[in-house]
Amino acid sequence: MAELRNYAAPRSLAEALQVLASGPATVLAGGTDLMPQSRSARVRFASTLLNIQGVAELRGVRRRDGAVEIGALTTIATLRDDPAVRNGAPVLWQACDHFASDQIRNAATIGGNICNASPAGDTLVPLLVLDASVVLASGGAAGILERRLPLSEFLTGPGRTARRPDELLVEVHIPVPASGWVDRYVKFGTRPALDISTIALAVGGTLLDGRLENARLALGAVAPTAIRAHDAERVLAEGPLDRARIDRVVDAADATIHPISDVRASDWYRRELVHNLLRRMLTDVCPN
Amino acid sequence: MAPTPREEAFADSLIGRRVPKLDAPDKASGRTRYLHDINVPGQLHAKILRATEVHARIVSIDVEAARRVPGVHAVITAADVPWQRPIGITKDHMPLKADIVRSRRDEIAAVAADTVQAAQEALRLIRVAYEPLPIVTNSAQALGPGAPLLHGEDLRVPGRNGALEVVHKACSDNVSMAYEYGHGDVSQGERESVVVVEDVFWLHYVTHCCMGVSGVIAEFDASGSLLLYSNTQVPFLHKREFAELLGIDPGRIRIIQPPIGGGFGSKLDIYPFEPIAIFLAKITRRPVKLLFTREEEFIASPTRQPVLLKLRSGCDREGRLTFRAVDTIHDNGAYTSWGATTPFVMMQTISSLYRVPHCHYRTRAVYTNNPYAGSFRGYGNLQATFAVEAHMDKLADALGMDALEFRLLNAQDPGESTPQGMHFRSCGFKECLGTAAERSDYAAKRRRNLEHWNDGNPVKRGIGMASMLHVGGGAKMYPSDGCGTIIKLDDFAKVTLITGASEIGQGSETVLALLVCEELGLPIDSVTVVNNDTAITPWDVGVHASRTTFIGGNSAIGAARKAKRKILEIAAPKAGRTPDDLDLRGGHIVLRATGERIQEIGKFLRSLHFSEKAELVMTTYYYEPPSVHLDRNYKGNVSAAYAWATQVAEVEVDTDTGIVRLLKITAAHDVGRVLNRLGIEGQIEGGIVMGQGYALSEDLLVEDGVIRNPNFRDYKLVTAPEIPEMDVSFIETMDGEGPQGAKGVGEAPAICIAAAVANAIYNATGTRIYALPFTPEKVYRALRGSNMPPKWPADAA
Ligand SMILES: Cc1cc2nc3c(=O)[nH]c(=O)nc-3n(C[C@H](O)[C@H](O)[C@H](O)COP(=O)(O)OP(=O)(O)OC[C@H]3O[C@@H](n4cnc5c(N)ncnc54)[C@H](O)[C@@H]3O)c2cc1C
């Protein structure tokens, strides 16, 4: 932390963007990733630390025009307690329910989880299944520019995103799924609380006559970013979800992933988990 | 019917009641001042530079830039303390390393500065040049021919007269310590067997994870006497050791023990950071405070002893054990601490948990470039029990005998003396077995689970049993295993209990206060316990071996009885009675037979104090248990009592992921007698959770001498949602020597869990896993037959 020179704690988005526009700054939201990372010297702070906690307009969940809009500063605890999330995006709700512990959920924000871009970030997998996009803002006093990117394009690598240094993530945009939508989230960690996902899976789609239409399947901690498994989705869409199809979905997912070995699991074991838990999840979402 | 006065008088007995820990309100409200909260005026902050190589020669250390950092008062290396002396069980370990580093925790330099930040900045500027040496991080390889030697040269330090003397002899085979024990004739046992099983087990690295990280404050006064604020578990032994290290009179060392944030055996030895803080205090003439970071705590505090263990056991046609032969290789790590002495406990379980006519036990503790092992709750017993109880199931199954029947047939009875010389004055082993089996419905569930092995459901259930024997009345490892107590009563019948027994979170001060109140007929809140200052408290050997309630308890009772005797002897003539007619109950001197109140105790004490006799009631007592040292052949009745337990584990195994969930523990413990029910429940439940972590989740990953997961993210302690349902029964055998009949229980609950879980996983899946821990990937691999079971090294004989 040696070179930290300025600390900014703006009250409005415009002020925050002004700070970002004027030079390199490290954004601090809940700090639950940033603080441990800076302590272990994995990130170095820029000369300015920009604490966005005071920007009230970045907080909260709104339901508007067939979408759920989540402010970047909304905490995981708020998401877990919000009926709009629970009803409109149950797969995200499930992920929030499995997220860390109460203490961390109270501080951790969805914007931080997305911008941290860990392959194991727990909200990313359900957000991919929900076809979420992110809203990025830049500018300042003179005016605010916004652009919207699908989450899948925003995540570019482990810890890497398409965010420009002068941009702030301000909102997550989730189209409310059509009626008949079903989804599931499965996180595998060695313990039920306070665990980084060894792998995470989520599936969603419209259930019709034993088939999953418009199916979306996403996986976490098995590739450089959380990913959609498009090939497997195509297999899902082709016909009823019987045993043979589930086997083919699993094969297609297997061909999509590139798990690594680390202290938490070997690449082989991660693959095995994807096979077994994907099979179990699909059987569960469409039982017959 | 209304209670008689006598019944009423005895209704206030505290024994077996649920008494909250005396320190609980302070701890729960954040008022407790731990070592971490103590700051001494004028103190400096110390930090240690550790090796970045696993095994290397130190070519040079450049501290010049570090010395120039503003706020830095001292930067020291071995060169600055030529008078330093070695620490450790075999004196093979210099606090600051001069020429060679042998593990990644090795201390190279230390800084004392005005602030922690300045000290850290100085560390960053120290340059060390190394010349790497070949490393050996596998204990079997360390035994092999041509292995690099870790302590291949004599360790010499200047003696008192300045001349160099050898303090640790060159070790030419990396064997730091070796043990061999036997009784009977194993080959005869082998001939008498119809079933023989042999397996190799691997018991992994775990560490204590005390919530309070290690630390010390060292301060010399103007006359050169040393005051240490230390969380040691053995203040009186360490007083002597520090004196030897410094070449000063032990009388000039005082240790104050602030409340501790967890011990579990980790504070039984002196580690380099303590002498280093003392060196810095001596050199700077300032108080020096040194605290570990959490990462440092993982890297530089001791581990439980990792063990490679080969066990061969047999039984005859009737199911009687015929023999047991054990060979172990202990990974000693780079230096020798208490982990190397765990065979003392392991061989008791091997020779005497069950009746074994022929027995052979051997251990070699082998130097490697790994972290070194210290003492940890259970002291080798978790490792030995893991192997022994696996074989109890395997032998029973091979014979087609019920696993419980098989154990009952071989279990010890009260009154027995074992070939190793242990005498079981009280022994509730068979009651433990019966109670745990019955309350868990062990036999029926064990049978039923087998029917599901091939039913297609990926989630299986299993039940498994394991039992343990552990010292419960101290362990005579030193010339004395005693504890002293001083009791004083003030004018208002408030008691100050001054005891040598240290409180390390186990609840000793509460149980000692309870025992004293029981004798003196006073309420628990009338006691103040003083137990944390060697300048005040009488001698005690320390907190270890589950001894404090037993030894400290008997000592406290002894002092309380003397006080009581004195009161009754003075009160009796005035009441026209003999002392034996009287008793102390409910804050009063009463008639023993009827409970009739004669005088309030406080009033009596005031009248004694302000009478012509002008006396106070103050007593002392020193209790030495009737146990003996082990002889040269490791035989002897080393403890005044022995504790027993059976624990039954029920698990659910998801064969799709390998995750094992612990559903329920049914435990039956022979504790002699329940003193503080709340305290003993807490002790058992906490121990079960610690055993659960050892079995299922905790795994200190040491690869090529480097700890891969020095943090709580990847070193997985058990969290609240994983804690199983617990059904705990207490078997009260009323030990004749124990305080009010009680026996020690501190270590017992952690000992059997891993063994019971292993048996449960087998019952669920038909797969036996020989290596701990049962983390999901390992279990999954084992279920798929794709793991490598532990092997006994060919060249380790
Ligand atoms: C004990 C513990 C347990 C955890 N468990 C989990 C878990 O189960 N699942 C999981 O997914 N994660 C877990 N985490 C990680 C962490 O809590 C989450 O990733 C969290 O969502 C991060 O949010 P934050 O607000 O704390 O982010 P911060 O730490 O403040 O920021 C994270 C990163 O995002 C950037 N950033 C934050 N907000 C913005 C924004 N609006 N615009 C641009 N950049 C921004 C920051 O600069 C930083 O690089 C855990 C962490 C801890 C310490």
Looking up residue A227, the CATH number of its domain turns out to be: 3.30.390.50
Query: How far is Cα of residue B188 from the mean position of the Cα atoms in its chain?
Result: 36
Task: Copy the structure tokens of residue B527.
Answer: 């006691």
Banded model confidence at residue B752, pLDDT cuts 50, 70, 90: very high
pLDDT at A57 over 50: yes
Smallest CA–CA distance from B121 into chain A, residue? A2
pLDDT tens profile A168-213: 999 999 999 988 899 999 999 988 888 999 999 999 999 888 889 9
pLDDT tens profile B188-217: 999 999 999 999 999 999 999 999 999 999
pLDDT at B7 over 70: no
Best of A42, A190, A278 to mutate (most B CBs within 10 Å, chain B): A190
CA of B212 to the centre of ligand 1 (A): 27
Give the distance from residue A272's alpha carbon to the nearest chain B alpha carbon, in angstroms: 8
Q: Is residue A117 part of a domain?
A: yes
Domain count, chain A: 3
Cβ–Cβ contact B706 with A under 8 A: no
What domains sit in chain B, N to C, each tagged with a CATH number? 5-32+482-623 (3.30.365.10), 35-135+209-300 (3.90.1170.50), 307-475+631-796 (3.30.365.10)
Q: Is residue A196 part of a domain?
A: yes
Q: B723 CB contacts (<8 Å, ≥6 apart)?
A: B689, B692
Residues A64 and A148 in one domain: yes
Q: Is residue A225 part of a domain?
A: yes
Residues A223 and A281 in one domain: yes
Mean pLDDT, rounded, for A61-85: 94
Q: Is residue A180 part of a domain?
A: no
Smallest CA-to-CA distance from B594 within B3, B13, B1, B12 is with B3
| The predicted structure's pLDDT at residue B621 | 98
| The predicted structure's pLDDT at residue B10 | 57
Best of A263, A277, A281, A284 to mutate (most B CBs within 10 Å, chain B): A263
| The predicted structure's pLDDT at residue A245 | 95
Residues A74 and A159 in one domain: yes
Q: Do B657 and A276 touch (CB under 8 A)?
A: yes
| The predicted structure's pLDDT at residue B4 | 62
Residue numbers of A between 251 and 270 with CB closer than 8 Å to B: 263-266, 269
Residues A246 and A274 in one domain: yes
pLDDT at B574 over 70: yes
Smallest CA-to-CA distance from B540 within B513, B503, B510 is with B503
Residues A18 and A128 in one domain: no
Cβ–Cβ contact B791 with A under 8 A: no
Residues B780 and B297: their CA atoms lie apart, in Å, by: 31
Residues B356 and B361: their CA atoms lie apart, in Å, by: 12
**B705 contacts B46 by C-beta, under 8 angstroms:** no
Sign of CA dihedral A230, A231, A234, A239: negative
Q: Is residue A71 part of a domain?
A: yes
**B555 contacts B623 by C-beta, under 8 angstroms:** yes
Residues A164 and A194 in one domain: no
A122, A146, A175: which is the final residue of a domain? A175
Task: Copy the structure tokens of residue B298.
Answer: 């993982």
Residues A17 and A114 in one domain: no
Residues A212 and A248 in one domain: yes
Q: Is residue A181 part of a domain?
A: no
Q: Is residue A1 part of a domain?
A: no
Mean pLDDT, rounded, for A102-112: 97
**A216 contacts A128 by C-beta, under 8 angstroms:** yes
The DSSP secondary structure of B40-99, one letter per residue, reads: -TT-EEEEEEE-SSSSEEEEEEE-HHHHTSTTEEEEEEGGG-TT---BTTTT-B-SS-SS
Closest Cβ–Cβ partner in A101, A192, A277 for B722: A192
| The predicted structure's pLDDT at residue B3 | 62
Ligand 1: nearest atom to the Cα of A43: 49
Residues A170 and A80 in one domain: yes
Cβ–Cβ contact B719 with A under 8 A: yes
Averaged pLDDT score across all residues of chain B: 96
| The predicted structure's pLDDT at residue A44 | 85
Q: Do A192 and B721 touch (CB under 8 A)?
A: yes
Give the phi and the psi of residue B365 in degrees, each rounded to 5.
Answer: -95, 120
Task: Copy the structure tokens of residue B487.
Answer: 């009791």
Residues A156 and A90 in one domain: yes
Closest Cβ–Cβ partner in B458, B656, B722 for A191: B722
A175, A195, A224: which is the final residue of a domain? A175
CA of A125 to the centre of ligand 1 (A): 15
Give rounded-to-5 percent helix, strand, coil for chain A. Answer: 35, 30, 35
Query: Residue A29 sits in which domain range?
Result: 6-51
Structure-model confidence comparison of residues A178 and B774, the more confident one: B774
Residues A44 and A4: their CA atoms lie apart, in Å, by: 9
Q: Domain holding A25: CATH number?
A: 3.30.43
Banded model confidence at residue A141, pLDDT cuts 50, 70, 90: confident
pLDDT at B647 over 50: yes
Cβ–Cβ contact A37 with B under 8 A: no
Residue of the CA atom closest to atom 5 of ligand 1: A100
Q: What angle do CA A166, A170, A174 make, to 5 degrees?
A: 135
A117, A140, A175: which is the final residue of a domain? A175
Point out the least confidently predicted range of A137-146, B660-669, B762-771.
A137-146
Residues A62 and A90 in one domain: yes
**B85 contacts B157 by C-beta, under 8 angstroms:** yes
Point out the least confidently predicted range of A139-143, A215-219, A226-230, B6-10.
B6-10
Give the phi and the psi of residue B245 in degrees, each rounded to 5.
Answer: -60, -35
Residues B630 and B344: their CA atoms lie apart, in Å, by: 9
Residues A204 and A145 in one domain: no
Smallest CA–CA distance from B117 into chain A, residue? A2
Q: Domain holding A60: CATH number?
A: 3.30.465.10
| The predicted structure's pLDDT at residue A1 | 42
